[in-house]
Amino acid sequence: DQQVKQNSPSLSVQEGRISILNCDYTNSMFDYFLWYKKYPAEGPTFLISISSIKDKNEDGRFTVFLNKSAKHLSLHIVPSQPGDSAVYFCAAIIYQGGKLIFGQGTELSVKP
């Protein structure tokens, strides 16, 4: 049973445009969500997170939106840059108790 789903295996975006990566979850007990970026031959790097008490969190070019009623979160990257090309993992957890559950990942390609 896949509790965290990223239904798009890949996404291609033009440099300077917006990248939107989506993530759905099934467990309503999840109360903290994170996005990680992974380059080939490197470990996942933490990008941004959001608590379930918020619906938006912003950090520079990266914004995460949470829609609890739809059990959906998204990561917006504006403007997209070629260096953003990587695999992006969405992850969810029941804070302070559970284990981190990752989605399957979305490979983002930003073309110059």
Query: Which residues contact other proteins by CB under 8 A?
Result: 32, 34, 36, 41-46, 49, 89, 93, 95-100, 102-105
Residue the block writes with tokens 């939107």: 20
32 or 62: whose CB is closer to other proteins?
Answer: 32
Question: Could you tell me the smallest distance in angstroms from the CB atom of residue 99 to other proteins?
Answer: 5
Q: In the 8-state DSSP scheme, what is residue 52?
A: T
Question: Could you tell me the smallest distance in angstroms from the CB atom of residue 42 to other proteins?
Answer: 5
15 or 107: whose CB is closer to other proteins?
Answer: 107
- Judge contact between 105 and 4, C-beta under 8 A: no
Instruction: For residue 20, give Cα distances in angstroms to 39, 56, 86, 97.
Output: 18, 14, 13, 30
